[in-house]
Amino acid sequence: MAQQYKHILVPVDGSEEAELAFKKAVAVAKRNGEETELRLLHVVDTRAFQNISSFDSSMVEQVTETAKKTLDKYIDYAKEKGVKNINYSIEYGAPKTIIARDVPKEMNADLIMIGATGLNAVERILIGSVTEFVTRTAICDVLVVRTDLDNKLIEIDKKKK
């Protein structure tokens, strides 16, 4: 019998890589049956706000509102594709540990589907890749998505690299 995943976590950050992981996760959730839970996760990295001298809570609220709008669109897409058990959460803190350990433990995740890193080599050396950390330390299986829905290697905008 094929491996079935019943609690799938998909971290999303607005990147093309994360969107591809989300779309593939929708397909996996649909294949695994109506009882499969698909949880989208957006983490607001609060450390990014620590160095801003004029920090106020409206900045976090604005980032949260933008994330909610994106996540609502993802929910609509998944429901159109036939996924019934889908939800999302927005967490605040360090993305690496929240994605690799905290939320998977809380939801009893058996699979994390995550986009391949959007960082270039220098950025990975300086700040480290969330994807790399998750693949090394997650408490469940991790699938790193590198291809589109036709399983063709994706060409992400080269200007970012």
The single-letter DSSP state of residue 58 is H
154 within some domain: no
Query: Residue 43 is which amino acid?
Result: V
State the total domains in the chain: 1
19 lies in some domain? yes
Confirm whether 35 is domain-assigned.
yes
> Which CATH number goes with the domain that contains 100?
3.40.50.620
- Range list of β-strands (E), the chain: 7-11, 37-44, 86-92, 111-115, 141-145
Quick check: 158 pLDDT over 50? no
Tell me the pTM: 0.86
Q: Percentage of the chain surpassing pLDDT 70?
A: 81
Q: What is the mean pLDDT of the chain?
A: 85
In a domain, 161, yes or no: no
pLDDT band, very low/low/confident/very high, at 160 (cuts 50, 70, 90): very low
- Segment 82-100 shows an average pLDDT of 95
| Strand, coil or helix: 63 | helix
Q: What's the confidence (pLDDT) of residue 59?
A: 78
In this predicted structure, which of 70-84, 113-127, 138-152 has the lowest mean pLDDT?
Answer: 113-127
Looking at the domain assignment, is residue 5 inside a domain?
Answer: no
How many other CB atoms are there within 10 angstroms of residue 129's CB atom?
A: 16
> In this structure, is residue 160 part of a structural domain?
no
Q: What pLDDT sits at residue 139?
A: 95
Tell me if 158 is assigned to some domain: no
Q: What's residue 108's pLDDT?
A: 96
Range of the domain at 88: 12-127+135-145
Both tokens assigned to 3: 């491996």
Contacts from 19-24 at CB under 8 Å and sequence distance 24+? 19/115, 20/115, 20/145, 20/147, 20/148, 20/149, 20/154, 21/113, 21/114, 21/115, 21/145, 22/74, 22/113, 23/77, 23/149, 24/113, 24/143, 24/145, 24/149
pLDDT tens-digit series, residues 131-150:
889 999 999 999 999 888 88
